[in-house]
Amino acid sequence: MGRRMPRAVWAAVAVGLAARLAFSLGYWVDKPLTHDEREYLLLAQNVASGRGFAYLLPDGSPAPGEHFGRAPAYPLFLAGIMRLGGMVPVSNAAAEPDASLLRAIRVAQSCLGAALVWLVAWLAYRAAGPAAATAAGVLAAVYPPLVWTPAYVFSETLFSVLALGCAALLTLDSRRAGLAAGAGALAGLAVLTRPVMLFFLPLALLWLCWTGRWRSAGVFTIACALLVAPWTARNVREYGRFVLVASEGGITFWTGNHPLAVGEGDMAANPDIKRANVALRAAHPGLTPEQLEGVYYREAAAFIREQPAAWARLMLRKVFYTVVPLGPSYRLHSPLYFGASVLSYLSVLPFAVLGLANLRRRGTLPVPLLLMALASILAGVVFFPQERFRIPIVDPTLLVSAAAWRASRVTA
């Protein structure tokens, strides 16, 4: 897929790798870990230690706190780093992990971030040519949100590479069964990394069928299902009911569709929602997080059914915050982070809009990538928008589009 890519793209990849390593290893050190980071590390510890995909302490006792089921691919990725490096995992849910382990994770994710730079450049190349590839590579190499994401023990960087790899294969001649199978396999891995990828699958299938590629649609579906089905079967055996990928969907849907929801951000950005969650759990003592998933869905459905006008207003706020980066979750970070994040996004957005208009006139829209961005936006509106959810797909799409506009100005 790298045929005839400009040499400047490879320089951008190198710069992107250096920038990510510099941030991860030179700046983002000795920082406290978030709840999600600790959960990922705890799951990875148990996998690496042979105790399975569970929230267990080294003595085999359950880890304290509320822990919902997560998608397996990212903890497996972390466990692989632990095993390959021969590093001692975190000793318990509260302890800080070994610094060498965090460095290894950040180096690995920085390499994935460099691969993402190449993918963004390649997608721009397919849409608008060599000049766009160079511009997209440069943008992706230094775009702040993409630079700092690999420093966190989050699944976003791995997910972004898998998802954009899927979009890249679909951008090629998807009538070839091998390409469709590869795209389906990457889609399945992306689903197992972040279930939000499920929103993309029907859009991709509709597009393949609309363009007459029925065989490719079937191959894509089968390849994806073959990756996801074993994990679903494991969940059915583990929980005694159907759980496609992870049991965290209920609480996420409830958080974004609640009378106290503001339209953006998770519980960390909304203390009222956090208190309501404690009260809900107290009202259902003895239920496991997996058993609570249905309760969360029922509570959210009751709000939607009983207060449709309030829910409609909430949906409008979600749409607003999807585009305008001023939600409460942005304010949880330092002013420097907030400024860099917002300025990066807003400085690219108008040029991306112009670039999309240019690509539409040329008839070279990167349809799979745009459908993936649409799926990401839809997921944010159904659940709730948040910067972390936007960065892996929407921001690279904006960079590709902005690079296409830049290329049109250079070649005009």
pLDDT digit string, tens, across residues 391-404: 999 999 999 999 99
Tokens standing for residue 262: 């503001």
Instruction: Name every residue whose Cβ is closer than 8 Å to that of residue 304 and which is 6 or more positions away in sequence.
Output: 257, 311
Is residue 150 within 8 Å of residue 189, measured between CB atoms? no
pLDDT for 84 beyond 80:
yes
State residue 412's pLDDT score.
Answer: 54
State residue 95's pLDDT score.
Answer: 55
For 217-222, what is the mean pLDDT? 97
pLDDT for 94 beyond 60:
no
At 60-76, the pLDDT tens digits run 788 887 788 899 999 99
Is residue 45 within 8 Å of residue 101, measured between CB atoms? no
**Local confidence band at 3 (pLDDT 50, 70, 90 cut-offs):** low
pLDDT for 1 beyond 60:
no
State residue 286's pLDDT score.
Answer: 85
At 180-199, the pLDDT tens digits run 999 999 999 999 999 999 99
Give me the chain's average pLDDT, please.
92
pLDDT for 410 beyond 80:
no
pLDDT for 264 beyond 50:
yes
**Local confidence band at 331 (pLDDT 50, 70, 90 cut-offs):** confident
State residue 93's pLDDT score.
Answer: 45
pLDDT for 351 beyond 70:
yes
Buried b (16+ CB within 10 A) or exposed e, 366-381: bbbbbbbbbbbbebbb
- C-alpha span between 174 and 180 (Å, rounded): 6
State residue 374's pLDDT score.
Answer: 97
pLDDT for 213 beyond 50:
yes
Instruction: Name every residue whose Cβ is closer than 8 Å to that of residue 50 and which is 6 or more positions away in sequence.
Output: none
Q: Report in angstroms the alpha-carbon separations of 136 from 141, 161, 266, 284.
A: 8, 15, 31, 51
Burial class (CB in 10 A: 0-12, 13-18, 19+), 390: buried
Q: Which of 48-57, 142-151, 228-237 has the lowest mean pLDDT?
A: 48-57
For 273-291, what is the mean pLDDT? 91
